[in-house]
Structures are given as structure tokens and as C-alpha cells.
Amino acid sequence: MLPQISSFSEYQDAYLRSISQPEMFWEEIAQAFEWRKPWEQTLNWNFTEPKIEWFAGGKLNITENCIDRHLANRGNQTAIIWEPNNPNDEVRKITYSQLSEQVNKFSNVLQAKGVAKGDRVCIYMPMVPEAAIAMLACARIGAIHSVVFAGFSSTSLSDRINDAACKVLITADGMLRGEKKIDLKQIADDAIKISPSIETCIVFDHKNFPIQMQNGRDFDWKELMSTSSAIHEATEMDSEDPLFILYTSGSTGKPKGVLHTTAGYMIYTAYTFKNVFQYQEQEVFCCTADIGWVTGHSYIVYGPLLNGATTLMFEGIPSYPDPGRFWSLIEKHRINIFYTAPTAIRALEVFGTEPFEGKDLSSLRVLGSVGEPINEEAWHWYHENVGKGNCPIVDTWWQTETGGILISPLANITPLKPAFATLPLPGVQLAILDEKGNELHGNSIEGNLCIKFPWPGMARSLYNDHERFKSAYFSTYANYYFTGDGCKKDEDGYIRITGRVDDVINVSGHRIGTGEVEDAINEHGYIIESAVVGFPHDIKGQGIWAFVICDREHHSYEELCNEAKAHVGKVIGAFARPDRIQVVKALPKTRSGKIMRRILRKIAEGDTSNLGDTSTLIDPSVVDLIKIGAEEIR
């Protein structure tokens, strides 16, 4: 049985043990899983190469732990509840036996299409159970899944397919998000045109939209499944064999293909799911994230299934058909644990308490928050209106790279403080460093958040680019994993995340690199240079502000800005569209040609009282002009 901490003193004991004897601590947890062959070495690591291996030599398959192992006792229990975009459409419930059957069948389908262990498979799907089935089937045959969020454009999809040279693309005809129709197959077709590695495209007919199927390349999911056997022997994987790639944005360059491996990720997501949410048998767990982000991977699919839980997948959006949708969802499915993002909470806060009227939320036991810092006001609103003052909020801090939650209260165990992610989970050795790289000790400190010891769920590399893995995370401070976040530790040792300290913007919980947005804007014929920064946004957390330089007169700057915004939507995806574009004559540059983003950030924030030292700028007078322009568009 996977250990479950049941009191604060047990947490403190577990934490101390996990620090003094990390290997022994994780070995005990690893015992709770099914191994084909036990591991030989628990941990082998250094943060210089860096090299991280957990449970090396062990043989297993994660899907035997997610599915097969539950069949004897909970074959008829619901594994996945699916709530459609339109609340009047039919709910689907998939038991563990049905899930097993579907995953086995799709594993056979993939193998029949020539997919072998180590091959990459791209999944570009709506929020339907088939997305999870596709992920699990990949894991079962040892193929590496690369899920791409279905809000990404064809260019972004193709970039990700090409980086990993995926052989197969799994998609659907299309989807509806609220009333918005998205033609996924069309986008997939556009991507495949510039992604020569794709040999096969499997299309799940979700909405019966008219689509083009290319003979010999495109296949219908349901047709392939209808003749596929429901028996499939899982492929034996090594603990450190890759499980998946998931792309995420950094401050510079193209998106990074974060690579996770099998055993460590499995153990970590299972353990954190059970302990953070304090999951109890038979409970219904609902995470509103999309499966295209790591939250969906770890806490819709792997974490819950590894625990034999019932996980709810919601296809829709919080505002459709009305702003009471989440609350109807909770009532309809008697959800016990509800895990969502601050941006959704803030967006719903605007509608007041009316959407709650007549809705029974008494099933709720635990609330969760993820993706960005939750402000105190939203925290209290969530606590009072959704949790009726009775449900703890677990503010879970983590990242694509960390695989699972690293800092969070344990529900009903850790004393809470609004807007604080509170304390590190067992096994997580935090370090707070100052700009110069000195580790700060004690309480009441503030600095850059690092981690100084490996935990099983951490990323092992960036796909095909280990050098970049090293430079992005292990080079800022020698021998530390640098998260890119800043934090404060208060007088009680509680952690409050203050946000990114690099050039990554967090828009509605979506992580966007400023460089990616700049590259997209610069493709506009009239724009020769741009600088993108984040600014505080009431609902999205951060908005995107772009300063652009045009090299010739445009008949309408408003039109130009709209074109540039639309272009970013087309190149990256609608979620990355800048909120504000400001045309400027020049950008604040130093003599070495570096843009002083610090100044632009301050201007976008509307805090221009103290812009700091501008004497190193080639032309300090540009700052005043930008300030005036910013006031006009604010």
C-alpha cells in the first residue's frame, strides 16, 4: 500500500526521514508498485552533467500499475468520468475493465501501424477519454507520447512533431469549446504538410464534422479499434526508459521538450496525488486542466489511475453555457476533490454568488489551486463560496519539469495560510539563493527558488538536447536545479511563490516565452523589432504587452496592431495573443545592444516612479516617449 501521511507530526517525521535517508524513504514507497523485476540501484545522481537515475535496472510497465493491477478488485469501478462540453450531451463512464480493454486494443492498433518501443507519437486531441487511452497505449507499448495542447496552431504543432520526429499523429475531427468550433483535423493536415516524419494519422471521430481523409495515411480510430484484439501483453520497460515528452516555454529559444522517464515519474505522481489531496477510496477527483499540459498528465491521468481513483475529465469551459458550470459539474458528479487554476477562480468571481444558487456543493472535501500564484482575495473567495469555509485549499506549486507537486499543504493536515504554497513535500530539498548564488538560510528570506537534491519525478533531460537541459536548469547556480521562480520564506518557514524571475510570462496559467511572441510579431512585414513583457492582469494573472518598432508608416496603427495580434494567434495559438501592442520609435537599449526589459516591465506595470539606473542606455530619452505612449493605451 502506498503510504498516506495522516497528521502534521507524521508529515514532519516523513520529511526528516526523506532528507536524512532519501533512498530508504523512496524505496519504501516504490514497494507499493508492481515490478516485473526489482531495481538494482535506488539513486545515482549528480547535478553537474546532470545525471539523474532512480531505481535503475528495475523493469516494469506503468500501465500495469495504472490499470491491470486494479482489475481484480476494482474492475467495475469507474476509472474515468467524462463530462461533455454541452451539459445536455451524454456523460460517459469508463470502468477499469473497459479502460483496460480500450488501452489494449489501441496498443495493438499502434503496433499494427509499426509503432515500436522508443518511437514518438504525437497526440493532438480534445478533452475526451480517447486522449488518455492514446497516452496509456503509448506507455503500454513503450512508445514516447508527446501531447500537444489542442489550442496550439498548426505551426506550433508541426514544430513539436518535427523536434521529436514523431511517426504517428493522433487527432480528432474537431471539438467545441463553449460555442467555439475548432477543426483539429484541418490544423493537423496543415501541420503534417511540413512534418515529413508523420507516416500515419489516426483520427477519432468526435463530432462528426466533415473532414478530409488521405488514403493510406489517415485512418479512422473507431474502424481500427473494431477489429483490434482486447488482449495485449505490455512491453517491459526499464525504470529510466522515457515515458513522455512535453513541450514547455523557456525565456529564450524554441520550446523545450521536457523528458520524463518511467519509474520515478510513476512513483512521484502516485505519492503526491494520494498525499496532497489525501485521496480516499471511492472519491471522485476532478482536475480542470487540459490533458495537453503537465497538470493533465500527472493529475488527470497518471496520478489518479495509479491510485485506482475515479478521475473526471471535463471537456468544456467554466463559462459555458453559463458561469455556474463548474458548480453544476460538482453537484452533478458529487465531486469530492476539485483542482483548478486561479485564473478560472478570478474569472468566476466576477459573477458573484448568483451562479451558486440552488447548487449542492456538499460533496466537496478538498479544493486545489495550480498554475500561478493565487492572490489572497481569490483564495478567500474560493474558500468561502466554493468550499463554504469547510474545505482546505491546497495551493500546489510545481512545473512541467518537476513532474509532480513539490510545494503544497497536505489537505486537512498542514495548517494553511492564504496565498502560500506552504511547505515542501517529503523528498523535496529547497534552497533559496540570492543573485550572487549564495544560499540563504533560516526564515524571513527572499530569493530565487532552487532545489538541491533529486526527487523521483524530476525531468531527466530535454529531448535530444541534454546540453540545453544543463544550461537551462543547472548552470545558473552550480549544483542546484534552478526553477526560474522567485519566492519568499516567511517567519514560520512558509513559502510564498512570487512569480517568474526570467522572461517567461504566465497568462491564465499558460507559460509563454517572451521570445516566442517576439519572433511571431517580427514576422509582420511592417515590424522590424519588438520586445514583449508581462503586466499584471486582473483575471489572467499576467497579460502580454508588446512594444514594437515599425520601419515605415502604416495607414492605421490600430489595424497593424490587430494584424500583429492575429498573427501571434496564428503562429502560436490564441492563448498567446498580446493584450496590448504599443508602437514605439525606439526601444531602451544599452550600448551593447541589449534591450533593458526591466524598464519596459516597469512601464507596462504602470510603475514608473523609479525606473532605476538608465544611464547605460544609448538614448535615455526614449524612455519618456515610451512612458507617454503607454499611458495613452492603458
Q: What is the dihedral of CA 261, 266, 268, 269, to 10 degrees?
A: 110
Nearby residues of 379 by Cβ (< 8 Å), 6 or more positions away: 369, 393, 395, 418, 419
Q: Rounded to whole angstroms, how far apart are CA atoms 540 and 256?
A: 23
Q: Rounded to whole angstroms, how far apart are CA atoms 619 and 593?
A: 11
Mark residues 263-302: x for contact with ligand WT7 by CB under 6 A, - for none: ------------------------------xxx-------
Residue closer to ligand WT7 by CB (options 131, 583) is 131
Q: Rounded to whole angstroms, how far apart are CA atoms 297 and 39?
A: 25
ω into 578 cis (within 30 of 0): no
Please list every residue from 505 through 534 that binds ligand WT7, using CB under 6 A. Answer: 506, 511
Among residues 66, 286, 367, 421, which is the contact residue for ligand WT7, using CB under 6 A?
Answer: 421
Smallest distance, ligand WT7 to C-beta of residue 157, A: 18
Matching residue, cell 495522516: 6
Q: Is residue 373 involved in binding ligand WT7 (CB under 6 A)?
A: yes
Q: Is residue 370 involved in binding ligand WT7 (CB under 6 A)?
A: yes
Residue closer to ligand WT7 by CB (options 371, 447) is 371
Q: Rounded to whole angstroms, how far apart are CA atoms 143 and 237?
A: 10
Residue 491 host element (H or E): none
Question: For ligand WT7, which stretch binds (CB under 6 A), given 124-132, 154-162, 398-406, 531-539?
Answer: 398-406
DSSP characters for 356-415?
A: GTT---TT--EEEEESSPPPHHHHHHIIIIISTTTS-EEEEB--GGGSS--B-PPTTTSP
| CB burial readout 279-292, b (16+ within 10 A) else e | beeebbbbbbbbbb
Smallest distance, ligand WT7 to C-beta of residue 515, A: 16
Q: Closest Cα partner for 401 from 287, 511, 507, 305?
A: 511
The upper half-sphere exposure of residue 84, i.e. CA atoms within 13 Å in the direction of its Cβ, equals: 13
Question: For ligand WT7, which stretch binds (CB under 6 A), given 192-200, 319-327, 391-399, 409-417?
Answer: 391-399
Smallest distance, ligand WT7 to C-beta of residue 309, A: 19
Smallest distance, ligand WT7 to C-beta of residue 258, A: 8
Among residues 264, 303, 484, 573, which is the contact residue for ligand WT7, using CB under 6 A?
Answer: 484
Residue closer to ligand WT7 by CB (options 52, 225) is 52
Among residues 53, 218, 238, 485, which is the contact residue for ligand WT7, using CB under 6 A?
Answer: 485
Smallest distance, ligand WT7 to C-beta of residue 618, A: 33
Q: Is residue 340 involved in binding ligand WT7 (CB under 6 A)?
A: no
Residue closer to ligand WT7 by CB (options 450, 548) is 450
Among residues 500, 524, 540, 602, which is the contact residue for ligand WT7, using CB under 6 A?
Answer: 500
Among residues 79, 497, 544, 576, which is the contact residue for ligand WT7, using CB under 6 A?
Answer: 497
Residue closer to ligand WT7 by CB (options 202, 246) is 246
Q: Is residue 502 involved in binding ligand WT7 (CB under 6 A)?
A: no
Instruction: Let me know: does 492 contact 404? Beta carbons within 8 Å.
Output: no
Question: For ligand WT7, which stretch binds (CB under 6 A), given 275-283, 363-371, 575-583, 624-632?
Answer: 363-371
Q: Rounded to whole angstroms, how far apart are CA atoms 400 and 414?
A: 24
435: exposed, middle or buried (Cβ count in 10 Å: 0-12, 13-18, 19+)? exposed
Matching residue, cell 526553477: 483
Residue closer to ligand WT7 by CB (options 303, 371) is 371
Smallest distance, ligand WT7 to C-beta of residue 69, A: 27
DSSP 86: S
Smallest distance, ligand WT7 to C-beta of residue 496, A: 9
Q: Closest Cα partner for 544 from 581, 587, 497, 574?
A: 581
Among residues 398, 420, 455, 535, which is the contact residue for ligand WT7, using CB under 6 A?
Answer: 398
Among residues 163, 283, 331, 372, which is the contact residue for ligand WT7, using CB under 6 A?
Answer: 372
Matching residue, cell 487511452: 133
Question: For ligand WT7, which stretch binds (CB under 6 A), given 270-278, 432-440, 480-488, 621-629?
Answer: 480-488
The upper half-sphere exposure of residue 75, i.e. CA atoms within 13 Å in the direction of its Cβ, equals: 6
φ, ψ (nearest 5 deg) of residue 499: 120, 180
Smallest distance, ligand WT7 to C-beta of residue 422, A: 10
Q: Is residue 399 involved in binding ligand WT7 (CB under 6 A)?
A: yes
Q: Is residue 126 involved in binding ligand WT7 (CB under 6 A)?
A: no
Binding site for ligand WT7 (CB under 6 A): 248, 293-295, 369-373, 395-400, 421, 483-485, 497, 499-500, 506, 511
